[in-house]
Amino acid sequence: MKIVEARVIVTCPGRNLVTLKIVTDEGIYGIGDATLNGRELAVVAYLEEHVLPALIGRDAHRIEDIWQYLYRGAYWRRGPVTMTAIAAVDVALWDIKAKAANMPLYQLLGGKSRERVMVYGHATGKDIEGCLDEVARHVELGYKAVRVQCGVPGIATTYGVAKRSGERYEPADSDLPAEHVWDTAKYLNYVPKLFAAVRERFGDDLHILHDVHHRLTPIEAGRLGKAVEPYNLFWLEDCTPAENQQSFRLIRQHTTTPLAVGEVFNSIHDCRELIQEQLIDYIRTTLVHAGGITHVRRIADFAALFQVRTGFHGATDLSPVCMGAALHFDTWVPNFGIQEHMPHEARIDEVFPHAYRFEDGHFTPGETPGHGVDIDEDLARQYPYKRASLPVNRLEDGTLWHW
């Protein structure tokens, strides 16, 4: 089955999303998500100039060989742009293979390990009260697990908190990066009260998650982990930047709060020590930023040896194509933990018709052959690309900080 065409579709139905479509001589096509938030056109150029011309004429069934060709062959290994481009090709080829086999993708991976996939939703509020109302709304919708984020008194804007209640936050919300101001002391004094309030109102059964978004030092992360132990968090996410994997040793020495890391990783080498030394509990790689199914499967299998489970990234800046592929992966992967879910707005769901369904706090990927997500190209064309940037973070004295 030869690849006869490969093209990139950029659309902005509320936010920028990049899709790769690979077409074969048998008429079967597959799609992959190539969206790298805030750096979208870098991946488009990488694909169009360096990858797609080399795919034409290749056998679409040779997924592994094509992966190695793009990874080893490039000489310049790893990095988010390269690994997102490789992932887009990989996911599109798995989609093709599963369609050719007339099977939903999870069957090709090894079949179902579970009946349904637990997801966590996002509750955010300007303050603790506002956040509790949003948690209540999620509980009513059926969510069994909720990520809770709230604004902090004295800090004007906090990333990950929606501007108005009931809305989602948008990671890339301005043409050029917005500047936020951060104060660790205020955050550390306030945020444990949020979890105390959630437990008091919703009891012990609800799974509570929290994302620190890399803003603490390792010892501060240890302090936070210890302070929130009474509230039994499902996980504390990205409590410090993870380039220095060893730094998590320090955090581990201070707390039993489970730790999750990995949405900015793009290779198994980014998390090798974290996993091997059992410094984390959940690996959060993004399926479409870490080389696609072919590579993320290696990460998950490696993690299983050390009882580290998956908890994949699923923010709205990843398209429904990523969500669909991730849900098939989650249905198969033996060491599944949880899947992030931020609902896309209606326009995005219209551009990307999909088979996955939400019910009672869980998703099922559907039984459509392939990953079950398609793109309406005519509709996609109606929404041209619009530059959008992620914010930056500064301390009150102006020092540029992690965000």
Ligand X SMILES: O=C(O)[C@@H](O)[C@@H](O)[C@H](O)[C@H](O)CO
Instruction: Please report how close the Cβ of residue 363 comes to ligand X at its closest, in angstroms.
Output: 16
Instruction: Please report how close the Cβ of residue 217 comes to ligand X at its closest, in angstroms.
Output: 19
Residue 340 within binding range of Mg ion, rule CB under 5 A: no
Could you say which of ligand X, Mg ion, none residue 90 binds, taking C-beta under 5 to 8 angstroms by partner kind? none
Of 33, 54, 38, which is closest to residue 329 (Cα–Cα)? Answer: 33
Residue 40 within binding range of ligand X, rule CB under 6 A: no
* Residue 137 token pair: 């709304």
Residue 263 within binding range of ligand X, rule CB under 6 A: yes
Cβ atoms 308, 283 nearer than 8 A: yes
Choice between 170 and 263, CB closer to Mg ion: 263
H or E element at residue 125? strand 117-125
Choice between 262 and 292, CB closer to Mg ion: 262
Query: 159 catalytic, yes or no?
Result: yes
Between the CA of residue 299 and those of 252, 267, 270, 315, what are the distances in Å? 21, 8, 10, 20
Q: Pick the catalytic residue from 122, 138, 210, 213.
A: 213
Rg (CA), the chain: 20
Instruction: Please report how close the Cβ of residue 103 comes to ligand X at its closest, in angstroms.
Output: 30
Could you say which of ligand X, Mg ion, none residue 340 binds, taking C-beta under 5 to 8 angstroms by partner kind? ligand X
Question: Which amino acid is present at 364?
Answer: T
Query: 295 catalytic, yes or no?
Result: no
Among 19, 37, 158, 393, binds ligand X (CB under 6 A): 37
Of 181, 275, 280, 299, which is closest to residue 236 (Cα–Cα)? Answer: 280
Q: According to CB under 5 A, which residues from 249 to 288 bind Mg ion?
A: 263
Cβ atoms 137, 167 nearer than 8 A: no
Choice between 90 and 263, CB closer to Mg ion: 263
Total residues at the site for ligand X (CB under 6 A)? 10
Choice between 171 and 225, CB closer to ligand X: 171
Among 171, 262, 311, 370, binds ligand X (CB under 6 A): 171
Could you say which of ligand X, Mg ion, none residue 95 binds, taking C-beta under 5 to 8 angstroms by partner kind? none
* Residue 227 token pair: 């302070």
Please say whether the dihedral angle defined by the alpha carbons of residues 273, 274, 275 and 278, taken in this order, is positive or negative. positive
Q: Pick the catalytic residue from 29, 46, 120, 159.
A: 159
Measure the CA–CA gap between 390 and 285, rounded to whole angstroms.
Answer: 19
Q: According to CB under 5 A, which residues from 192 to 211 bind Mg ion?
A: 211
DSSP codes, 166-211: TSPP-SS-BSS--EEEE-HHHHHHHHHHHHHHHHHHH-SSSEEEEE
Choice between 24 and 35, CB closer to Mg ion: 35
Residue 211 within binding range of ligand X, rule CB under 6 A: yes
H or E element at residue 121? strand 117-125
Choice between 220 and 340, CB closer to ligand X: 340
The b-or-e profile of 99-138 (16+ CB within 10 A means b, else e) is bbeebbbbbbbeeeeeebbbbbbbbbbbebebbbebbeeb
Residue 214 within binding range of ligand X, rule CB under 6 A: no
Choice between 108 and 261, CB closer to ligand X: 261
Q: According to CB under 6 A, which residues from 42 to 81 bind ligand X?
A: none
Instruction: Please report how close the Cβ of residue 344 comes to Mg ion at its closest, in angstroms.
Output: 17
Q: According to CB under 6 A, which residues from 305 to 324 bind ligand X?
A: 313, 315, 317
Q: Which residue number has the CB closest to Mg ion? A: 211
Residue 374 within binding range of ligand X, rule CB under 6 A: no
* Residue 378 token pair: 């005519």
Residue 213 within binding range of ligand X, rule CB under 6 A: yes
- Terminal-to-terminal C-alpha distance of the chain: 45
Residue 342 CB contacts under 8 Å (≥ 6 apart), including other chains: 121, 122, 168, 314, 315, 316
Instruction: Please report how close the Cβ of residue 211 comes to ligand X at its closest, in angstroms.
Output: 5
Measure the CA–CA gap between 74 and 145, rounded to whole angstroms.
Answer: 41
Binding site for Mg ion (CB under 5 A): 211, 263
Q: List residues with catalytic annotation.
A: 159, 213
> Which residues are near ligand X by CB under 6 A?
37, 171, 211, 213, 263, 313, 315, 317, 340, 390
